[in-house]
Amino acid sequence: MFLKKKYISRSTKNPNIFENRKKILNSNNPNLIYLLKKRFSWMIEYIKNKKVIIELGSGNGCLKRILNQKNILLTDIVKYPWIDKKLDMLKINLDKKYINKVDVFIINHSLHHCANPANCLHRISKYLKKGGVMLINEPETSFMLKLFQIILDDESWSLTDNVFIKNKNLFNPKNPWISNTAVAQLLFKNKQKFERNFPQYLIEKNNVSEFFIFLNSGGVNSDFFNIKLNHFFLNIVDIIDKILIFLFPGVFALNRTVVLRKIKKG
């Protein structure tokens, strides 16, 4: 079953965003804090001293707090109280003042919820300035992620979708929580294929990561059992993750980190 190319979840993920935000901002769980810092701290070098930074699909909006960057514009298809601007990733109709002016776009675990990721990436290039970057974290559809998705009936994946077609949606866009967690793998695993389809971008960073540090975090949008560890042991767990993922990326990696740099108009 885990070798299947496609799995459709019987349920649709629908987390309580208000409770998730409260949990993260008031967390006394060192495992979760460690995970989130690992997931976002690498972005600091790209956003430092940048004026126009926009996050798409911000959800709980905690990235702004974790990175301690007040000038990040938070957007989401749902206008939660902390969201600065309501924005649909399928349309991305920002004000004209942002055309070729955005320094950084951030997409954290939301691109796989976009029914047409190819169209989304093309629309972003209209607003991203030349030399600007897109910072992406997304699920990685490894053997272990498939296993967890099947056991938990959590989210769907399809390795057969053509993610490079701009005029066809992958799934019904009416529910923002429907997803295909294989989107990042399909888009970015083959660097040459991506850059042929998106000549306006260069893949500057393309890494996979996270196994035990995610599993023992207690969950970002869920609450799972976890064994609280201090920073010393969390670092050891992170080293174990790196070894496992280096040796068997297709088995253990649960997260893909990508940096796209705009090199020309597209």
pLDDT at 1: 53
Measured N-to-C along each axis, helices 30-40 and 231-247 cross at an angle, to the nearest 10 degrees, of: 50
Between CA 162 and CA 168 the distance in angstroms is: 9
Q: What is the pLDDT of residues 104-145, one digit of tens each?
A: 999 999 999 999 999 999 999 999 999 999 999 999 999 999
Q: What is the pLDDT of residues 231-247, one digit of tens each?
A: 999 999 999 999 999 99
For 27, 99, 130, 250, the CA distances from 140, given in Å and listed in that order, are 26, 31, 28, 9
What whole-number percentage of the chain has pLDDT above 70? 98
Question: Is a pLDDT exceeding 60 seen at residue 2?
Answer: no
Tokens of 35: 């995970």
Superfamily of domain 6-262: Vaccinia Virus protein VP39 (3.40.50.150)
Q: What is the pLDDT of residues 182-206, one digit of tens each?
A: 999 999 999 999 999 999 999 999 9
pLDDT at 3: 66
Question: Is a pLDDT exceeding 90 seen at residue 220?
Answer: no
pLDDT tier at 221 (50, 70, 90 boundaries)? confident
pLDDT tier at 15 (50, 70, 90 boundaries)? confident
* 102-108 β-sheet, strand order: 85-86, 72-76, 53-56, 102-108, 128-139, 255-262, 201-209
Q: What is the pLDDT of residues 137-172, one digit of tens each?
A: 999 999 999 999 999 898 999 999 999 999 999 998
pTM above 0.85, yes or no: yes
The number of beta carbons lying within 10 Å of the beta carbon of residue 214 is 23
- Mean pLDDT, residues 78-101 taken together: 96
Closest CA to 59 of 20, 115, 103: 20
CA 222 to chain centroid, in Å, comes to: 16
pLDDT tier at 21 (50, 70, 90 boundaries)? very high
Between CA 266 and CA 253 the distance in angstroms is: 31
pLDDT at 219: 86
Question: Is a pLDDT exceeding 90 seen at residue 67?
Answer: yes
Domain ranges of the chain: 6-262
